[in-house]
Amino acid sequence: MNPDNEPLLSTYTLPNGVELKNRIAMAPMTNFSSNPDGSVTDAEVNYYARRSKGVSMVITACTYVTPNGKGFHGQFGADHDGMIPSLKQLAEAIKEQGAKAVLQIFHGGRMCPPELVPNGEIVSASDVPAEKGGVSTDEPDVKPRALTEAEVEEIIDAFGETTRRAIEAGFDGVEIHGANGYLIQQFFSPHSNRREDRFGGSLEKRMVFPLAIVDEIKKTVKEHAKAPFIVGYRFSPEEPETPGITMGDTLKLVDALAGKGLDYLHVSLNDFFSAPRRGVEDLTKTRIDYLLETIDNRVPLIGVGSIYSAEDARKAFKTGVPLLALGRELIIDPDWVQKVQEGKEAEIVTQLDKSKQEELVVPDPLWNAIVNTPGWFPGVS
């Protein structure tokens, strides 16, 4: 093995004492492959198992915490106790291969396709439609209904209940999905949150909902987990909309999150080395550098974004980030980590081979989405 890769493969202990066998996690990625009732399919379970051997931790695709939070066709659910056997199947498949299993939990808010939620009624912090019609739906300007305060409290409770189900299903942790324009981010964003109650208005009030979810989940873990249980939080650093979340806003949220006793923070980036677009003085400094500076070693940060080769990973680790997540890279080459371990990094595949769906164990709905979206994956034009 290349000695320069030793930092990638060294163990890492999270704040709660859980030891990760190396510094590489699988990033959460929607796979559109669950059953219509929200239970996981065998194809999905096999897909995860195929990618769980080398990495230290697998963060699943997001699962919805309430029926009106379902954001994708073919998304698996965790909104009631009847889903626990399905969740257990997924947790066991990941853990059997030697990785920690972390369930990403979310509510889609205004990004939910109306046909997937009860009565077609989509909800959000306020009645402001997503500018581009939403990530998950093609319908332009679907107007959400603003949640009442009581409903907001119910959703906070639902995040706690879903965490309990994750514990009962045998997961090693949960990741709170506060990124990519979904409900938690909708409360933090001045674009989608125009409320005038305790959940909106100032930057501090827009942080109330995300921080309340963290508190509820921490409380649930204390009550129900019999062993150390990982709690992470994923966030997107900026929004393109005006008004929208700026890098400066995110640094204030990250500062608050870093004091919450979480086990990690996870930034959502397409490019690890990207620079901020606004809200900070120096727009040449990378977002990762700003985040590490603000966190100041209080909580581990997982970096992500177009880390295709071992060389890319080594360069990323030089920033001081303790953990990296690989997403598309593990779909293209599920043996990425093993190849680094065995000194075969030159054999890592960095372009998708469109003739190898079966060998790569990728379910049909995900495969079809990949090959029909030019530019999403290297090798797909």
User: Which entry of 182, 264, 290, 308 is annotated as an active-site residue?
Assistant: 182
* pLDDT, tens digit (0-9, with 9 covering 90-100), for 160-177: 999 999 999 999 999 999
Write the pLDDT tens digit of every residue in 216-236: 999 999 999 999 999 999 999
Would you state the pLDDT for residue 139? 58
Q: What pLDDT was estimated at residue 138?
A: 53
pLDDT at 1: 76
Among 208, 226, 205, residue whose Cα is nearest residue 216: 208
Which pLDDT band, with edges at 50, 70 and 90, does 141 fall under? Answer: low
Q: Return mean pLDDT, the chain.
A: 96
pLDDT of residue 140: 58
64 is catalytic: no
Over 50: is that where the pLDDT of 135 sits?
no
Residues 117-146 have a mean pLDDT of 81
Checking if the pLDDT of 131 tops 90, the result is no
- Examine the pLDDT at 157 and tell me if it is beyond 70: yes
**Helix 42-50 with 84-96: angle, nearest 10 deg:** 30
Residue 378 confidence (pLDDT) above 50: yes
pLDDT at 381 over 90: no
Query: Mean pLDDT, to the nearest integer, of 251-268?
Result: 98
Tens digits of per-residue pLDDT, 302-340? 999 999 999 999 999 999 999 999 999 999 999 999 999
User: What pLDDT score was predicted for residue 286?
Assistant: 98
- At 115, the pLDDT band (50, 70, 90 cuts) reads very high
How does pLDDT run across 342-351, given as a tens digit for each residue? 999 999 999 9
On the question of pLDDT at 136 being above 60, the answer is no
CB 142 within 8 A of CB 211: no
Q: Is residue 137 scored above 70 in pLDDT?
A: no
Can you tell me the distance from the alpha carbon of 303 to that of 297, in angstroms, rounded to the nearest whole number?
Answer: 14
What contacts 64, CB < 8 A, 6 or more positions away? 38, 70, 71, 75, 77, 78, 79, 106, 107, 108
Distance CA 276, CA 288 (A): 9
> What is the phi-psi region of residue 221: left when phi exceeds 0, alpha when psi lies from -120 to 50, beta otherwise?
alpha
Average pLDDT over residues 1-28: 95
Complete domains list, the chain, with CATH:
3-371 (3.20.20.70)
